[in-house]
Structure 1
Amino acid sequence: MAKKSRIKARETAPGEVGPRQPCPCGSGKRFKACHGAEGGAGGVYVARPFEGLPSECDVVAMRELVPSATAPISVKGTDKPVLLCTLLPMAAPAMVRDSGQLWLGLQVQHSFGDPSRDLGAVLQAAIDAEESGIIGLTDPPGPGPRLQDLVTDKELKVTVHDGFDFWISDVEEKDDLAAALEQANAAANPTERLTQVEAAYWTNVGTKEHLRWVMPEPEDELLDALARLHVAGRDVIVEGARLVGMFRAHGLLAPVWDLPVGTGPEALEDPASTFKADLDAALANSSALTGDERSARSGLANRQVTIR
């Protein structure tokens, strides 16, 4: 008689993190050894930390896939100018600039369980700071306002930059930062945000071009809709493009298309708008999936890609 497997199969719900998978907090540990452990990593893991934040999908994109972008934000309780940034010099969580501006960096991993609370605590510390300099967290922030509790805008105006020249836009002595700026710029892949749809970003990684589109719909509903479009042959954004998979970040799903080299962002604008209309129609379709659609859905759900 064959031996029974000692490993019991564990079903993981869509969006749920398996115990042996990397912890989504970015610590590099397995989930069971980080936020999956009792009291792990100093706090409870929040699956969708930016829910309710204006332009949530763009914020996730700025945190996870866009090299250099900024968005001014209005913050409750202060009239100081605040700039939300992808990455700051030295990967600083926040900076109080000599010009009086407050800069808040999204691409920082504090690993305290709730990135939005971490960002809220850093932002509050920057507001309260009496001198210019770098602001960060060394201990879990504890209860308090999250980023969506502080931002008063209804939507964010995101500007994607060619590089990190905005780092020195408000300083007079630029020579001391030239080497660091050159190195950062060299590592930034060309990226542009599409204008006709929300949170869709074209990027050129040298050997390939991609369209990466962060979407707000619940994962189950989005997978159903994408499966319907795939079977109908309506998931090809432009000729030669291919939906290769998706990544999951902060509770949202982001489909990724490989594009023919030389496509560029302009060629994607109208087709992306058409695809969005088709997707909305597919999302409104509540009928049961066909056998082909179920097969396509299974393939999409298991086809995860690397964010960067």
Structure 2
Amino acid sequence: MGKKSRTKKEATRTPGEVGPRQPCPCGSGKRYKACHGAPGGAQIYVKRPFEGMASECDIIALRELVPAATAPLPLTGEYADRDVRLCSLLPGAVPAMVRESGQVWLGLQVQHDFGDASRDLGAVLLKALDSEEGVVGLTDAPEPGPRLQDLVADEPLEITVHSGFEYWVDDVEDSPEVQEALSQAEGAATPTDRLTSVSAAYWTQMGDREYLRWVMPEPEDELLDAFARLHERGATPVVPGARVIGMFRAHGLLAPVWDLPVGTGAEALEEPAAAFVETLREALADTTPLTTEQRAARSGLANRQVTIRQ
């Protein structure tokens, strides 16, 4: 196709549509036409799969950032009376387990990705709800069907962050097999706490460093503009001595990351984090054009993004 023809085609493309020669938004590094845009073999790709869920940001955090956490998962409809436990990670990264009691454990950190994480979770959950005791998973992309949003009650999750993976075995008797499973997972769970004053903000310690990782619901461009305004006036530190060192991009949202002074801890972040929400809200409401300094700050923030899941 000649240059003129390509230009004409791009001009008629729907806003937001990915061009065949552009990078695939899934983050694979391939062009769209060779990845999710490939004819015949492509799977649907949903950039923001958990959009609309009351705990969208927390689900993303548990799927991508938090090593060990669980939450009761309230269902609707014919499955409203079933007992389901949402888990950040299950043994062997399996998608789901049906326990001896009949309780279903649904895992978020899994190895498969068929383009729509919510559809994948919905398919696994339905399969587990109709299964007897044992491991449940997917070997192929699921057929069109209910997504997680269609099965879960529209209410915030009650999340418990664990110090390790003992929750894997809290419904079974201790045994050598149990201890072996826990031994293999030892060290994988870094110390983590969830802040209670704000949503989807998690303190963590890695080695001798402390960080705050906070999944935020605002659209990427608006959030970057707001952070640029705050950065330009020195208002991004959540606590004195903290600094924004970058942002994770996952499932259509951004998660700013702060490097914290040693010894901060989670409790000391509660009030400052709540105050930062108000400061950020004011910056989000400012729609004036960015200044030269603010544009430079925005560029610096954008260059320090790391894509986990596009």
Q: Does 1:140 find its partner at 2:114?
A: no
> Aligned with 1:83: secondary structure?
strand
In the alignment, which residue of structure 2 is the partner of 1:43?
43
How many Å apart are 1:175 and its aligned residue?
2.7
In the alignment, which residue of structure 2 is the partner of 1:201?
202
Unaligned runs of 5+ in 1: 1-9
Deviations 1:159-209 (A, max 9, x none): 100001011111124331212212313111111111101000111111321
> Aligned with 1:140: secondary structure?
coil
In the alignment, which residue of structure 2 is the partner of 1:107?
109
In the alignment, which residue of structure 1 is the partner of 2:255?
254
Contact map agreement 1:163 1:188 (CA 8 A) in 2: yes
Match of 1:87 among 77, 86, 89: 89
In the alignment, which residue of structure 1 is the partner of 2:272?
271
- The 5 Å alignment of 1:71-82 reads 71-76=71-76, 77-78=78-79, 79-82=81-84
In the alignment, which residue of structure 2 is the partner of 1:70?
70
Cα distance in 2 between the residues matched to 1:99 and 1:88: 17
Deviations 1:249-306 (A, max 9, x none): 0000111111122211111111111111100111111212111111111111111147
Aligned residues: 293
Unaligned runs of 5+ in 2: 1-9
- The 5 Å alignment of 1:14-25 reads 19=22, 23-24=26-27
How many Å apart are 1:34 and its aligned residue?
3.1
- The 5 Å alignment of 1:218-237 reads 218-237=219-238
In the alignment, which residue of structure 2 is the partner of 1:122?
124
- The 5 Å alignment of 1:51-66 reads 51-66=51-66
In the alignment, which residue of structure 1 is the partner of 2:301?
300
**Structure 2: which amino acid aligns with 1:212?**
R
Contact map agreement 1:23 1:30 (CA 8 A) in 2: no
Q: Does 1:159 find its partner at 2:160?
A: yes
Contact map agreement 1:22 1:30 (CA 8 A) in 2: no
Q: Could you tell me the TM-score, scaled by structure 1's length?
A: 0.88
Contact map agreement 1:73 1:153 (CA 8 A) in 2: no
Contact map agreement 1:94 1:103 (CA 8 A) in 2: yes
> Aligned with 2:139: secondary structure?
coil
How many Å apart are 1:109 and its aligned residue?
3.3
Compute the RMSD of aligned alpha carbons. 2.5
Cα distance in 2 between the residues matched to 1:95 and 1:263: 37
Cα distance in 1 between the residues matched to 2:154 and 2:186: 30
In the alignment, which residue of structure 2 is the partner of 1:98?
100
Contact map agreement 2:26 2:47 (CA 8 A) in 1: no
How many Å apart are 1:236 and its aligned residue?
0.8
Cα distance in 2 between the residues matched to 1:255 and 1:59: 16
> Aligned with 1:104: secondary structure?
strand
**Structure 2: which amino acid aligns with 1:64?**
E
Cα distance in 2 between the residues matched to 1:267 and 1:306: 29
Q: Could you tell me the TM-score, scaled by structure 2's length?
A: 0.88
Cα distance in 1 between the residues matched to 2:245 and 2:239: 14
**Structure 2: which amino acid aligns with 1:206?**
G
Using the aligned pairs only, state the percent identity. Answer: 63
- The 5 Å alignment of 1:178-197 reads 178-197=179-198
Cα distance in 2 between the residues matched to 1:165 and 1:299: 41
Contact map agreement 1:70 1:160 (CA 8 A) in 2: yes
Cα distance in 2 between the residues matched to 1:173 and 1:80: 26
